[in-house]
Amino acid sequence: MTTEYKLLVTASVNITENYMLDEQRTPLKDTIITNLKDLYKYGLKNYGKCTGKQFRINKYKESIHIGYTFEKKCVYEDTKETYVLATWLSIEHYKETIEREYFMVS
Protein backbone atom coordinates (compact mmCIF):
# COMPACT_ATOMS: atom_id res chain seq x y z
CA MET A 1 0.00 0.00 0.00
CA THR A 2 1.45 3.36 -1.03
CA THR A 3 0.27 6.69 0.34
CA GLU A 4 1.34 10.00 -1.20
CA TYR A 5 1.71 13.16 0.86
CA LYS A 6 2.12 16.76 -0.28
CA LEU A 7 3.68 19.06 2.28
CA LEU A 8 4.21 22.80 2.53
CA VAL A 9 7.76 23.23 3.81
CA THR A 10 8.62 26.59 5.39
CA ALA A 11 12.21 27.34 6.47
CA SER A 12 13.23 30.71 7.95
CA VAL A 13 16.80 32.01 8.29
CA ASN A 14 18.22 35.15 9.86
CA ILE A 15 20.55 36.24 7.04
CA THR A 16 22.16 39.01 9.08
CA GLU A 17 23.29 36.71 11.91
CA ASN A 18 23.50 33.60 9.69
CA TYR A 19 21.39 31.09 11.63
CA MET A 20 18.22 29.10 11.05
CA LEU A 21 15.15 30.19 13.00
CA ASP A 22 12.48 27.69 12.11
CA GLU A 23 11.44 24.84 9.82
CA GLN A 24 7.87 23.58 9.52
CA ARG A 25 6.21 20.84 7.47
CA THR A 26 2.46 21.21 7.06
CA PRO A 27 0.19 18.92 5.03
CA LEU A 28 -0.84 20.88 1.95
CA LYS A 29 -4.48 19.89 2.43
CA ASP A 30 -4.47 21.86 5.72
CA THR A 31 -3.53 25.13 3.96
CA ILE A 32 -5.11 27.50 1.44
CA ILE A 33 -2.33 26.68 -1.05
CA THR A 34 -3.12 24.37 -3.96
CA ASN A 35 -0.36 25.16 -6.49
CA LEU A 36 2.84 27.18 -7.05
CA LYS A 37 0.89 30.31 -8.05
CA ASP A 38 -0.93 30.27 -4.69
CA LEU A 39 2.39 29.65 -2.95
CA TYR A 40 3.94 32.70 -4.66
CA LYS A 41 1.03 34.98 -3.67
CA TYR A 42 1.09 33.66 -0.10
CA GLY A 43 4.84 34.29 0.13
CA LEU A 44 4.59 37.85 -1.16
CA LYS A 45 1.84 38.65 1.32
CA ASN A 46 3.56 37.15 4.37
CA TYR A 47 7.34 37.05 3.74
CA GLY A 48 8.33 40.06 1.59
CA LYS A 49 9.88 40.26 -1.84
CA CYS A 50 10.65 37.18 -3.93
CA THR A 51 14.39 36.71 -4.46
CA GLY A 52 14.46 33.41 -6.33
CA LYS A 53 12.99 30.04 -7.23
CA GLN A 54 13.74 26.62 -5.74
CA PHE A 55 14.33 23.55 -7.88
CA ARG A 56 14.83 19.87 -7.20
CA ILE A 57 16.51 17.39 -9.54
CA ASN A 58 14.38 14.30 -10.21
CA LYS A 59 15.60 10.78 -10.98
CA TYR A 60 15.67 11.61 -14.71
CA LYS A 61 18.11 14.53 -14.07
CA GLU A 62 15.40 17.11 -14.82
CA SER A 63 14.90 20.31 -12.82
CA ILE A 64 11.51 20.51 -11.13
CA HIS A 65 10.27 23.89 -9.81
CA ILE A 66 9.18 23.30 -6.18
CA GLY A 67 9.05 26.73 -4.54
CA TYR A 68 10.33 30.25 -3.92
CA THR A 69 12.66 32.24 -1.66
CA PHE A 70 11.51 35.48 -0.01
CA GLU A 71 13.25 38.18 2.03
CA LYS A 72 12.08 41.00 4.27
CA LYS A 73 13.57 43.32 6.83
CA CYS A 74 12.47 42.61 10.42
CA VAL A 75 13.10 44.24 13.80
CA TYR A 76 14.34 42.53 16.97
CA GLU A 77 11.77 43.04 19.72
CA ASP A 78 14.29 43.69 22.49
CA THR A 79 16.98 45.87 20.83
CA LYS A 80 14.91 47.37 17.98
CA GLU A 81 17.78 46.62 15.56
CA THR A 82 16.93 45.34 12.08
CA TYR A 83 17.85 42.07 10.41
CA VAL A 84 17.07 40.36 7.10
CA LEU A 85 14.77 37.34 7.31
CA ALA A 86 14.89 34.86 4.42
CA THR A 87 12.08 32.34 4.07
CA TRP A 88 12.06 29.33 1.74
CA LEU A 89 8.62 28.03 0.79
CA SER A 90 8.28 24.80 -1.15
CA ILE A 91 5.76 22.11 -2.00
CA GLU A 92 7.26 18.66 -1.56
CA HIS A 93 5.86 15.24 -2.43
CA TYR A 94 6.48 12.17 -0.31
CA LYS A 95 5.47 8.56 -0.86
CA GLU A 96 5.15 6.11 1.98
CA THR A 97 4.90 2.41 1.30
CA ILE A 98 3.51 0.03 3.88
CA GLU A 99 4.04 -3.70 3.42
CA ARG A 100 2.18 -6.14 5.58
CA GLU A 101 3.01 -9.77 6.11
CA TYR A 102 0.64 -12.23 7.69
CA PHE A 103 1.81 -15.39 9.45
CA MET A 104 -0.14 -18.40 10.55
CA VAL A 105 0.21 -19.18 14.19
CA SER A 106 -0.34 -22.76 15.20
Rounded to the nearest integer, the mean pLDDT of the chain is 91
Measured distance CA(104)–CA(96) in Å, rounded = 26
At 82, which amino acid appears?
T
pLDDT tens per residue, range 50-94: 999 999 998 899 999 999 999 999 999 999 999 999 999 999 987
pTM for this prediction: 0.80
Q: Do residues 90 and 66 make contact, with C-beta atoms less than 8 angstroms apart?
A: yes
Model pLDDT, residue 40: 96
Element (H, E) at 56: strand 49-57
Burial of 70 (C-beta count, 10 Å sphere; 0-12/13-18/19+): buried
